[in-house]
Structure 1
């Protein structure tokens, strides 16, 4: 999905755009399949696909991957979601919050891949965006020549639907620090969006829970813009959602060991995100089919295409994310 889809929410101190302005983006969200939610998160960490931050999708340099990373996790060990997520919450809650200076930059390098077993893409995306959202940067060039750093000013109007890293930090910091209160707030947001979409965003309570699950994963994927204290609340809120499962001994899209947190929606698509074992740092997402899915027959094809259960539809991994002092600087 595009970066305007589900990354909009209420935030104290920053006015929300009006209903008329949000309507087109939400209509696009409704028309898209849920399985496309896990984009390569914005400077992120894209979560949900793309590297657009503060309204600029140009904040990335693409380097084609030279090999297929490790396969999706197998023979993982199911464990208690409540226990693991509480352990994660306690671990990150002890870390101090730090709001970067407006003129510092958020650096992110992510890996993205499309459907396995089908014509797909694999790429690494590298981006810089100033914390106040006024500038973005990327390396650009042509094959065979030394790339150069391109810094771009970002024009933003007062009613922008995009958030800068600073605005994300302030929004997330202002969310309730109680897990139940946070979950209730996101439930209300889901119901508001669904009402504006005339019930087409989801039609069941299970569908709403899946939307809320994805929303909280989006929050975790905001890199340095997610305060550590709020990460703890998000972990505890995830544990309160029915159907959330946790498996240890898994791997992310780059083959790094981790812990996978997942939930399967009513459409038969499992949405996953991976945490680093021990540190519980966010490492990316994966979308997997859990039932055979028959696609419409395309012109010129002899029969319908079938996506088999277990197929990885798309995945993304955060290779590095940090706050740096200038564009082009790497941690």
Structure 2
């Protein structure tokens, strides 16, 4: 994408001096050099962070920005980077994999023709499914394959959209949301980081216990979502859709609430059905989708076309914006396992109950 440059008018007193000096260059660093400088900056941030600072629960970020800013002309091309990430923890960071070019897919048109019937099939599947009740001392375990957008704001190359390579992300959360763990090799310190938190649960930081208090009437639920997310996101409708999607991704919701969430989502203006979509694991599915009119991307929740079980999500750019071309996949997820386990860091097995 293009980063516009600005140059202030030079005072007349400096005109003669400017003619005597050589023309300043406009050097560019390679992408590898940019990433090296960013990695160095992040290691310095982690090294100086307070040892007791807890890592907050992450709401998957739409974008991670690498912003190149000229420090001084005398540095001849050196850049300082500000990385807006959701990294947490204070342990030694693992080597971050280099970004890859974002995949590009054909944009499948959406339709409201089968919205009501599709949502009812999804709701029926959610209602029929057996959801285990996590008890005290247990944890909700979610294993996903994910990739999120990286925007590289440099003058060296504004034609490429970079994303994280697909990688595994594992999350453990206690039912009350006060204890948890996140393991995301390459993006979090080796061994993982704590998600322990004293933050009061809310729609933006939901716990299983909190979800049990939400209304299961779709109209009442949607009204609450709009009220509590007012002023957030690019539009009220997009933020409501995003909020429901976040509850589907890395959480375990009671069956009745799951049904209400899907039926509430169908009432959001602009929601459509996309007949063909793939999750991050390559599984084909049918999707409920909504376009963010400001950023130009379409968020898709993908379901198995036969069982209507939730598979994952995808965000596809449908109109050019911020230099991102239509068809570009900017976010991609797939839920691989969802279970209740008896201890933090424990993976499903003999002691775990898969969902």
Which category describes the TM-score, using the shorter chain as reference length?
A: 0.5 to 0.7
Counterpart CA distance in 2 for 1:57 and 1:287 is 31
Instruction: Give the drift of 1:236.
Output: 0.7
Q: TM-score, normalised by structure 2?
A: 0.58
Instruction: Give the drift of 1:171.
Output: 1.9
Q: What is the correspondence of 1:251-330 to structure 2 with a 5 Å cutoff?
A: 251-267=278-294, 268-293=296-321, 295=322, 306-326=323-343, 327-330=345-348
Instruction: Give the drift of 1:86.
Output: 1.2
Counterpart CA distance in 1 for 2:95 and 2:122 is 33
Aligned to 1:90: 124
SS at match of 2:280: coil
- Kindly indicate whether the alpha-carbon contact (under 8 Å) linking 1:96 and 1:229 is maintained by their aligned counterparts in 2: no
1:120 to 2:163 alignment:
yes
Q: TM-score, normalised by structure 1?
A: 0.62
Counterpart CA distance in 2 for 1:227 and 1:320 is 17
* Pair 307,90 (structure 1): closer, same or farther in 2 beyond 3 Å: same
* Pair 230,254 (structure 1): closer, same or farther in 2 beyond 3 Å: same
Counterpart CA distance in 2 for 1:139 and 1:176 is 33
* Pair 62,89 (structure 1): closer, same or farther in 2 beyond 3 Å: farther
Task: Name structure 2 gaps, 5 residues minimum.
Answer: 1-55, 65-84, 151-159, 350-355
Greater relative CO, 1 or 2 (CA 8 Å, sep 6+): 1
Instruction: Give the drift of 1:281.
Output: 2.7
Counterpart CA distance in 1 for 2:335 and 2:106 is 17
* Pair 61,129 (structure 1): closer, same or farther in 2 beyond 3 Å: farther
Q: Deviations over 1:162-219 (max 9, x none)?
A: 679x96222222222111111112122233xx2xxxxx755xxxx2111111111122
Instruction: Give the drift of 1:131.
Output: 3.9
Counterpart CA distance in 1 for 2:302 and 2:147 is 15
- Kindly indicate whether the alpha-carbon contact (under 8 Å) linking 2:144 and 2:168 is maintained by their aligned counterparts in 1: yes
Counterpart CA distance in 2 for 1:209 and 1:137 is 30
Alpha-carbon RMSD across the aligned residues, in angstroms, is: 4.2
- Kindly indicate whether the alpha-carbon contact (under 8 Å) linking 1:61 and 1:138 is maintained by their aligned counterparts in 2: no
Aligned to 1:189: 228
* Pair 50,251 (structure 1): closer, same or farther in 2 beyond 3 Å: farther
* Pair 57,283 (structure 1): closer, same or farther in 2 beyond 3 Å: farther
* Pair 51,95 (structure 1): closer, same or farther in 2 beyond 3 Å: farther
Counterpart CA distance in 2 for 1:120 and 1:107 is 25
Counterpart CA distance in 2 for 1:231 and 1:218 is 12
1:247 to 2:274 alignment:
yes
Instruction: Give the drift of 1:101.
Output: 1.3
- Kindly indicate whether the alpha-carbon contact (under 8 Å) linking 1:90 and 1:232 is maintained by their aligned counterparts in 2: yes
Instruction: Give the drift of 1:126.
Output: 2.5
